[in-house]
Chain A
Amino acid sequence: METQHFSYDNKIVKFFAYATILWGVVGMLVGLLAALQLAFPIFNFNLAYTSFGRIRPIHTNAVIFAFVGNGIFTAVYYSLQRLLKARMFNDRLSWIHFWGWQAIIVSAAVTFVLGITTSKEYAELEWPIDIAITIIWVVFGWNMFGTILRRRADHLYVAIWFYIATFVTVAVLHIGNSISLPYSWIQSYPVYAGVQDALVQWWYGHNAVAFFLTTPYLGLMYYFLPKAANRPIYSYRLSIIHFWALVFLYIWAGPHHLLYTSLPDWAQSLGVVFSIMLLAPSWGGMFNGLLTLRGAWDKVRDSATLKFMVVAVTCYGMSTFEGPMMSLKWVNSLTHYTDWTIAHVHIGALGWNGFLTFGMLYYLFPKMWNTKLYSEKLANAHFWVGTLGIIFYALPLYWGAIVQTLMWKEFTPDGLLAYPNFLETVTQILPMYHVRVFGGLLYFSGLFLMVYNLLKTAALGKCIDNEEASAPAIVTDTKRSKNEGLHRWLERKPVQFMILATVAILIGGAFEIIPTYLIKSNIPTIESVKPYTPLELQGRDIYIREGCNTCHSQMVRPFRSETERYGEYSKAGESVYDHPHLWGSKRTGPDLAREGVPGGKMYKTNVWHFNHMLDPQKMNAQSIMPKYPWLIKDVLDTSSTPAKIRAMTTLGVPYAEGYDLIANDDLRKQAEEIAADLKNSGVEVASDKEILAVIAYLQRLGRDISVQK
């Protein structure tokens, strides 16, 4: 066989690795700010751009798509070339991919700071950026498949299956969840509303965790762990079984994010069952990783890289045990909306993704720069500081979550809520938020040790941008030979492999989502539920802009502890006009679904809302809510009203024909009424300010079904 000479593109790997480090620092620094804001509201700086509602999506997106995203690409670009014995398909595509992805990250940060968001968790980016993501993702896939098709290796190693599954599933999820109708050049409403929007969102949200934070990192593990330990993987058989089981099962589990909401029961049950089953393939992956080190544990003692990887895989095992447990309905009734969720995802993010990335980088830098790691001691120090950081981050939040959920649910012997004031339950766990900041600080300082260590390592050596390699040319026989098993054949056929993986994930998606479309015609329309008035719609968009939904849910679950606190539990028919749904996933503050019910448990007057938005701490000294003084100062932009009404009408919200033209008249009338009411209460405010729209929206919440009585 002819031997071919070629080179591996290390330069692109180097750039992705540097981007990983840079965005890791940025993302975690913003995370530290978010943690500080929850502990000390003064860190919101009374500025729109830096208030928690806008900072939080910057943190989550930076860590997921910038830090882990670039980590994925570092791993793929390095390992793919070597596993396939081929240079990346096209250098230009590689660089378009690199700079395109960084540009997306920067535009994400800018739009979030400006409050341009869809409100959908981990899919907050608006439609022009969504399109850019789609294009860059296709460039990545094209480059990857081009390389696969030009390979000099016969089989596709397990890591590559995970990369392929990642590519197709993220594409399907991203497009499926981002379909929206633009009402301006930058903003849009999702085509789904209420229950459907929630289901699609968590089908996406859950699988963003699965196919962005898990499968590519399993691929990374399957390449870098054996390399770092110089051991074969424990079982190839296990990797086949757990790959297909994982890919197939994950996609069904989304509804476990919506337990006890007004999502239909059958969908909730489906989510629970598949979440429990997910434990098996997840742990299959964990065991395969850990058992790869059997007989080589002495190496772990000596190598910081391996230490990071071992703890990462262990954290993966912990998260994937905890996840199914939290999907059990009774456990979920306790943990949902609390900091338990935050602790859970951080075991995954800091432990699994963070530590595996660090392990990979400590392996890659000496390898690519053809030198030794500058300081193994510093790397070990990073490991211990980071591990302590995870512990100090997660434990207080678990503790706080238990305390708070029990307080929410406690009744006095007389049958009254023991802690009717929500704020009491926040104040109680505030010390835990302080400890969490400390944990984050530890983890972050560890990161700094790594940055220093790696830069020093790079300075010691020289990166070989084009690494010479040679391999025999391969003549691939496309036909399945006689004794070749199906999977073995499949491993030689990337396109067929991709199609089968796509089918595996589509089955789950189809079963989950199609029925909810069918239901649409059967939705029990609640007669009294009407579309929002123009002012309320504008207020709702400000609510989204400020990220109120990151701390306030709008979904009262059917528990006595919740109906006593908030009022009537939420019904599916109530949110039929909600593009997007704003059910939320965390209660840092109280639920707002019944905020506007006159005479209800949550009801507040207009003037209360005014003063509260201006200065929450003046109303409740202990409150950790940011101040929103700009809402009182800024004039409401009414020029967007007609376009918004038209978009809503197109999406099926029953505004009268031609209403877009006169909507602003109604808007002004309603604003003047609220301004007059405020004046009666002693507050003078011009009727064109944003605050009036927000008050109008808050006073609308839950009002529809209260009229019925």
Chain B
Amino acid sequence: MKIVSHYLQGIADVGFFPSISLLIFFLFFAGMLWWTFKKSNKEFFTEMESYALDEDGVNSSSEAKE
């Protein structure tokens, strides 16, 4: 693959690209994991899990009339 390697040589430090991308993603992901596993969020999460079910039962009267 002569031409392709030619490309690679054309960009300074091209090998760095995948590393940066991996790092960005890793930091982002780690931060998110930390946040979602924080104890203080548990109650809120439980509440949100049934959010779709509540929406026309509890707070509104849009339940189709029987």
Report A's interface with B, CB cutoff 8 A: 8, 79, 82-83, 85, 153, 155, 157-159, 222-223, 226-227, 230-237, 240-241, 244-245, 248-249, 252, 262, 264-266, 269-270, 273-274, 277, 367, 370, 464, 467-472, 483, 485-488, 504, 507-508, 511, 515, 518-519, 522-524, 558, 571-573
In contact, A571 and B3 (Cβ under 8 angstroms) = yes
Query: Which residue, B7, B36, B40, has most C-beta atoms of chain A within 10 A?
Result: B7
- Rounded to whole Å, the gap between the CB of A506 and the closest CB of chain B is 12
* Per-residue A-contact encoding for B24-66, CB less than 8 Å = 1, 0 else: 1100110011011110110011101111110110011110110
Contact status of A522 and B59, CB under 8 A, knowing A488-B41, A573-B3 = no
A240→B21 CA distance, assembly (Å): 21
Contact status of A244 and B7, CB under 8 A, knowing A270-B18, A469-B60, A483-B40 = no
Is the interface on chain B under 10, 10 to 19, 20 to 34, or 35 or more residues? 35 or more
In contact, B1 and A270 (Cβ under 8 angstroms) = no
In contact, A157 and B33 (Cβ under 8 angstroms) = no
A68→B45 CA distance, assembly (Å): 31
Given contact pairs A523-B7, A558-B1, A572-B7, enumerate 17 new A-B contacts (beta carbons under 8 Å): A85-B60, A157-B48, A222-B52, A236-B48, A236-B49, A265-B7, A270-B17, A270-B18, A270-B21, A471-B60, A485-B41, A487-B35, A519-B7, A519-B11, A571-B3, A572-B3, A573-B3
A504→B28 CA distance, assembly (Å): 10
A and B contact pairs by CB, cutoff 8 A, 16 listed: A83-B52, A157-B51, A227-B52, A232-B50, A232-B53, A241-B33, A264-B4, A266-B11, A274-B21, A277-B25, A483-B40, A504-B28, A515-B14, A522-B7, A524-B6, A524-B7
Contact status of A266 and B18, CB under 8 A, knowing A82-B55, A572-B3 = yes
- Rounded to whole Å, the gap between the CB of A341 and the closest CB of chain B is 23
Set of chain A residues within 8 Å of B10, measured between Cβ atoms: 519, 522
In contact, A471 and B7 (Cβ under 8 angstroms) = no
A273→B15 CA distance, assembly (Å): 14
- Rounded to whole Å, the gap between the CB of A636 and the closest CB of chain B is 35
In contact, B52 and A524 (Cβ under 8 angstroms) = no
Output the nearest chain A residue to B64 by Cβ-Cβ distance.
Answer: A370
In contact, B20 and A469 (Cβ under 8 angstroms) = no
Set of chain B residues within 8 Å of A508, measured between Cβ atoms: 21
Set of chain B residues within 8 Å of A269, measured between Cβ atoms: 18
Output the nearest chain B residue to A292 by Cβ-Cβ distance.
Answer: B49
A155→B48 CA distance, assembly (Å): 9
Set of chain A residues within 8 Å of B64, measured between Cβ atoms: 367, 370, 464, 467
A85→B56 CA distance, assembly (Å): 8
In contact, B4 and A572 (Cβ under 8 angstroms) = yes
Q: B37's contact among A83, A157, A237, by CB below 8 Å, is which? A: A237
Set of chain B residues within 8 Å of A367, measured between Cβ atoms: 64
Set of chain B residues within 8 Å of A232, measured between Cβ atoms: 49-50, 53
Set of chain B residues within 8 Å of A518, measured between Cβ atoms: 11
- Rounded to whole Å, the gap between the CB of B53 and the closest CB of chain A is 6
Set of chain B residues within 8 Å of A230, measured between Cβ atoms: 53
- Rounded to whole Å, the gap between the CB of B62 and the closest CB of chain A is 4
Report B's interface with A, CB cutoff 8 A: 1, 3-8, 10-11, 14-15, 17-18, 20-22, 24-25, 28-29, 32-33, 35-38, 40-41, 44-46, 48-53, 55-56, 59-62, 64-65
- Rounded to whole Å, the gap between the CB of A482 and the closest CB of chain B is 11
Set of chain A residues within 8 Å of B8, measured between Cβ atoms: 264-266
Output the nearest chain A residue to B44 by Cβ-Cβ distance.
Answer: A488
Output the nearest chain A residue to B59 by Cβ-Cβ distance.
Answer: A471
In contact, A233 and B59 (Cβ under 8 angstroms) = no
Contact status of A467 and B21, CB under 8 A, knowing A226-B53, A227-B53, A522-B10 = no
In contact, B56 and A82 (Cβ under 8 angstroms) = yes
A155→B50 CA distance, assembly (Å): 13
A158→B45 CA distance, assembly (Å): 11
A430→B15 CA distance, assembly (Å): 45
Contact status of A235 and B21, CB under 8 A, knowing A367-B64, A522-B10 = no
In contact, B61 and A266 (Cβ under 8 angstroms) = no
Set of chain B residues within 8 Å of A262, measured between Cβ atoms: 3-4
Set of chain B residues within 8 Å of A82, measured between Cβ atoms: 55-56, 62
A265→B1 CA distance, assembly (Å): 9
Set of chain A residues within 8 Å of B44, measured between Cβ atoms: 485, 488
A178→B53 CA distance, assembly (Å): 40
Contact status of A485 and B38, CB under 8 A, knowing A236-B48, A522-B7 = yes
In contact, B3 and A240 (Cβ under 8 angstroms) = no
A244→B36 CA distance, assembly (Å): 12
A-B pairs, top 6 by smallest CB distance, nearest first, are A522-B10, A469-B62, A232-B50, A232-B49, A236-B45, A264-B7
Set of chain A residues within 8 Å of B22, measured between Cβ atoms: 273
A504→B20 CA distance, assembly (Å): 14
Output the nearest chain B residue to A504 by Cβ-Cβ distance.
Answer: B28
A414→B62 CA distance, assembly (Å): 76
- Rounded to whole Å, the gap between the CB of A310 and the closest CB of chain B is 17
Set of chain B residues within 8 Å of A240, measured between Cβ atoms: 32, 36
A236→B37 CA distance, assembly (Å): 11
